[in-house]
Amino acid sequence: MKEMIAKCKEQVEAIYNQYDASHDLDHIDRVMKNAEKILLTEPNADEWVVRLAVLLHDVEDAKYESVHEATINEILKTIGAHDELIEKVVTVIESVSYNGGHAIDITSIEGAIVRDADRLDAIGAIGVARTFAFGGARGRKLYDVEEEARRTMSASEYRSKETASVTHFHEKLLLLKDLMVTKEGTRLAQERHDFMEIFLQQLKKEIE
């Protein structure tokens, strides 16, 4: 399995190096570290399914669909994964995305670990940095004091509207703490959430 993981990382590195800084290989490495922390508290989880899912979870991200043509299934077959393993990894990945609050239900502890690990990297200091990195790459405004955060939206509406970066905090990031699934993910999320609250309070003072 270690050889399979190494082969997978080698393939995805070329893909993620084409993404902007918010979803590059460093993001994958941080999510892996988060997953490893949670794995320590979830001894019944399949470590290898988690690791493969982390490595591959952004390969088919709709935000970067024009960057490459590789698919998760193709990569897994290339590195020698059998059908049962492929199905498990794909199922985990399908439940990771937030989709404007319309995430697919988690059906395994591996799915819970990968989702929590990815969401942890969306909040805290690194979450702040990633939000503005993505917004800058897409030419979005830093903030818009007249823009109201949407409380309800479809998955397509969530992805199609080019909201200001600060609005994204209110539409997603500040909501993630209460959506964590694992006990360890919930614990780790609290400090990061608190930092974002402090950051936004300070930003509001400077804007005003």
What pLDDT digit, counting tens, does each position of 155-193 carry?
777 766 789 999 999 999 999 999 999 999 999 999 999
Q: Which residues of the chain have pLDDT under 50?
A: none
- Rounded Cα–Cα distance for residues 10 and 99 (Å): 28
- Rounded Cα–Cα distance for residues 169 and 176 (Å): 10
Supply the pLDDT for residue 133: 97
CATH number, domain of 141, equals: 1.10.3210.50
Q: Which residues form the domain of 85?
A: 2-207
Domain count, the chain: 1
- Would you state the structure tokens that stand for residue 198, as one six-digit string? 């402090």
In contact, 199 and 128? CB cutoff 8 Å: yes
In contact, 16 and 24? CB cutoff 8 Å: yes
Supply the pLDDT for residue 174: 97
Q: 65 CB contacts (<8 Å, ≥6 apart)?
A: none
- Rounded Cα–Cα distance for residues 99 and 73 (Å): 21
pTM for this structure?
0.93
Residue for token pair 């990771």: 96
